[in-house]
Amino acid sequence: MRYPVSMILSGHINKRIAGVMVFLLFSLIILFFLELILGSVSIPCPEIIRILSGQGSSHDSWEIIVYNFRLPKAVVGLCAGAGLSIAGLFMQTLFRNPLAGPDVLGLSSGAALGVALVVLTAGTAGPSSILADLGFFGNFGIAIAASLGSALVLMMILVLSKRVRSSMTLLILGLMFGYTANSFISILMHFTLAERIQAYTIWSFGSFGGATWDQIQILVLFTMFAFVFSIFLIKDLNVLLLGDQYAESMGLDLIRIRNKIFIITAVLSGVVTAFCGPIGFIGISVPHLCRAIFATANHGILLPGCILFGACLALIADIIASVPGYSITLPLNAITSLIGAPVVIWIIFSKSRAGMEVSV
């Protein structure tokens, strides 16, 4: 018989899917190098390779630029894009809601509140960037505070989602949680020094370039842990696509899988938000783009797909935001929104035109 398109479930990996995966992988490698090459100072490609391989460079400043600015940015962008996309994918499957995502349902705001609590209340006088010189415990503290913040919002949504059937209502609730968290932040800011407020505002624009190497280690550790853990959830996530009752009738332990998805999602959106600021629209749009590209809802394909595609998209957004060749940089959040918002509009329109409720 002719096997259907998405037959990785059955072990028949479709050639087109494999092709797209390889293409995404190559794109990611190229984008990663572009992140290192492009910027206000142009460094030739052979020099980059020499610097990365540890042979040093003819210009000391180039070495500093690559090691302290561009390489951290590329690594953070890669982890953040992939992490947010996975969080979005899991939330969409868990809530069976196509408009779910770490930013739209208020998880990023919850994480921001966690960060604000740590940073705005901590020191009396501080450096210009809120992420600088936090020390090891400070770094972990900020990551955990952000994760707890997003976990808190996620928990409230999870409780309410059992009472609310409509995906639009849940979305509005998420927005309300976001507003609530933001108003707490505003209150905190009222009692804080002006430099701190300015630093917080800059952080809230979103940037991959603010984290120190120590913080990057934490980010990489947490995201890697989440990715590996996710592999074990593929089968359960696929069964969840048929809805809670069907999944349970087929032998899925609903509470356990919910808790696992819960932890991964809260940690991913918390840690990424802590070190990059709230990054909008990547989490909600990448899973949809992957479903459209791969023409499947199978998480065995969507999981690696979202990691690769999310990382690519984040790097593209960062390259655009850094405006290669000029000394100005645009807010990263503005760029991700410009890319992601049309995707969300497309989701809503394409499904309502077909006369059906938007579905995962």
Partner 1 sequence: MGLIRIDKLTVGYKKRKNGDKKVISHPNLDLKSGELICLVGPNGSGKSTLLKTITGLLPPLEGEIFLSGKNIRSMSSLERAKQVSLVLTNPVQAGQLTVYDVCSLGRYPHTDWMGSLGQEDHDMVTAALDAIGIRHFAHRYLHELSDGERQKVMIARALAQNSKLMILDEPTAFLDMPYRLEIMHILQNLAMNEDRGILLSTHDLDLALRTSDRLWVVNRDGSFHDGAPEDLVLKGIISQVFAIGEISYDAERGRFHIPVHPKGSVRITGENGKFRFWTERAMERIGFALQGDETVKIHVHITSRENIVTWIIQTPGNAKQFSNLTDGIDWIQNLKIAG
As measured in angstroms, the least distance from the Cβ of 163 to partner 1 is 13
Distance, in Å, from the CA atom of 131 to the CA atom of 274, rounded to the nearest integer, reads 9
222 vs 294 by CB, closer to partner 1: 294
As measured in angstroms, the least distance from the Cβ of 356 to partner 1 is 7
65 vs 360 by CB, closer to partner 1: 360
Q: What is the largest CA-CA distance in the chain?
A: 71
194 vs 356 by CB, closer to partner 1: 356
157: left (phi over 0), alpha (psi -120 to 50) or beta: alpha
CB 317 within 8 A of CB 339: yes
Distance, in Å, from the CA atom of 170 to the CA atom of 314, rounded to the nearest integer, reads 27
151 vs 247 by CB, closer to partner 1: 247
As measured in angstroms, the least distance from the Cβ of 109 to partner 1 is 28
As measured in angstroms, the least distance from the Cβ of 251 to partner 1 is 3
133 vs 357 by CB, closer to partner 1: 357
As measured in angstroms, the least distance from the Cβ of 107 to partner 1 is 23
As measured in angstroms, the least distance from the Cβ of 291 to partner 1 is 5
13 vs 29 by CB, closer to partner 1: 13
Tokens found for residue 230: 């996710």
As measured in angstroms, the least distance from the Cβ of 314 to partner 1 is 24
As measured in angstroms, the least distance from the Cβ of 244 to partner 1 is 9
193 vs 343 by CB, closer to partner 1: 343
Distance, in Å, from the CA atom of 241 to the CA atom of 303, rounded to the nearest integer, reads 14
- DSSP 8-class letter at 162: T
CB 310 within 8 A of CB 82: yes
As measured in angstroms, the least distance from the Cβ of 351 to partner 1 is 9
64 vs 242 by CB, closer to partner 1: 242
As measured in angstroms, the least distance from the Cβ of 29 to partner 1 is 27
Amino acid at 197: I
CB 308 within 8 A of CB 244: no
SS3 124: coil
Tokens found for residue 215: 């913080």
Going from the C-alpha of 4 to that of each of 14, 107, 316, the distances in angstroms are 9, 36, 33
Please give the span between the terminal C-alpha atoms of the chain, in angstroms, as a whole number: 28
**Complete DSSP assignment for 222-262:** HHHHHHHHHHTTHHHHHHHTT-HHHHHHTT--HHHHHHHHH
Going from the C-alpha of 20 to that of each of 24, 82, 166, 244, 311, the distances in angstroms are 6, 17, 34, 31, 15
Residues of this chain that interact with partner 1 (CB under 8 A) are 1-7, 9-11, 96, 232, 234-235, 238-239, 241-243, 245-246, 248-253, 291, 295-298, 300, 356-357, 359-360
50 vs 351 by CB, closer to partner 1: 351
Distance, in Å, from the CA atom of 318 to the CA atom of 293, rounded to the nearest integer, reads 23
166 vs 186 by CB, closer to partner 1: 166
